[in-house]
Each structure stands twice: as structure tokens, then as C-alpha cells.
Amino acid sequence: MEQGRAAHRTDGRPADRRGRGTRRRTDPCARPAQDRGCLYQPRLAGGADEHPGWYLWRDGIIPGDAAHPGETVGQVGARADAVLSRVRPLLGAGDVALVAHGHILRVLTARWLGLEPADGRLFRLDTGTLCTLGTEHDMPVIQSWNVPATS
């Protein structure tokens, strides 16, 4: 029996436009980007001078105030693991679409493949593309990556 696939997009549109699996759920494991830390990417926020050498995949999200505690790469990996633990049981019934920010999807891909969360850095993820994770001989694989969206 073929197992379902976990597909994700980077443009916010449903992964399956045929209408299958259109039930929408908000994952309690997800955290909005603005709640993670004071600087998500210092080079974009003008904070690179304050944090020389900062690298997301090594250093995580730099903490801000009490409401923005930051997040380590390991903590992001734990969130991805929690999502995957909810998704895996559903795959026996069909495909599951995941929509999220590119960095968490890269970590989720690494965790799907059994890699460390920081190995998400290895998966360049372009905007507006479809990626499909699946299995081959019951082992996790990438079935497609950065496939351009079609109209």
C-alpha cells in the first residue's frame, strides 16, 4: 500500500488544488515569526553590527524582550518533530499539505529525513514552489523539490 505524501508550498496556496484534504488546521506547535525573537535576520533588521558573525543555522533566533524569547535551532527542530508526529498517522489515509515559513519547512525536511535540525541549511527553498516529501521502501525521501507553481 502506498503511503501518503507530505507536501508543502512556500506561497501560501493549497498544495492540492483539486480540493482534496481541504480541512484547515492551525498547528499549536507553530509560532508566529514575530514572536520568536528580537531579530529574525539581523542583516535585514539592521542589527548585523550588534551581532557580528550571527548565523541562523548555528545561533538560532536571537532573544529579544520577555515576549520574544528567541529560539535555538534545536527548539525549532522539536517543533518540526511535533508537527511530524501529528502528520505521520494521517499519511496512511492520503496526502497532507503543510504551509509555513521557509526556514521551518527546511528544518521539517531535515527532520523528515532523520537529519539534525541545523541540516535544514542544506535545502535551499525558493519562493512560490512546491516540495513533496514521501517514502521509498518505507524510508523517508524527497520526492520533489522547488517545483514552480503552475497556474
Domains, the chain, ranges and CATH? 1-25+94-151 (3.40.50.1240)
* pLDDT tens digit sequence for 70-112: 889 999 999 999 999 999 999 989 999 998 889 999 999 999 9
Rounded alpha-carbon distances, angstroms, from residue 10 to 62, 75, 106, 129: 24, 22, 11, 6
Q: What is the mean pLDDT of residues 24-37?
A: 52
Q: What contacts 70, CB < 8 A, 6 or more positions away?
A: 36, 37, 38, 60, 61, 62, 63, 64
- Please state the pTM of the whole predicted model: 0.73
Tell which residue, 151, 148, 96, 98, has the closest CA to residue 125.
Answer: 148
Q: Where are the alpha helices (DSSP H) in the chain?
A: 42-45, 56-59, 73-87, 102-112
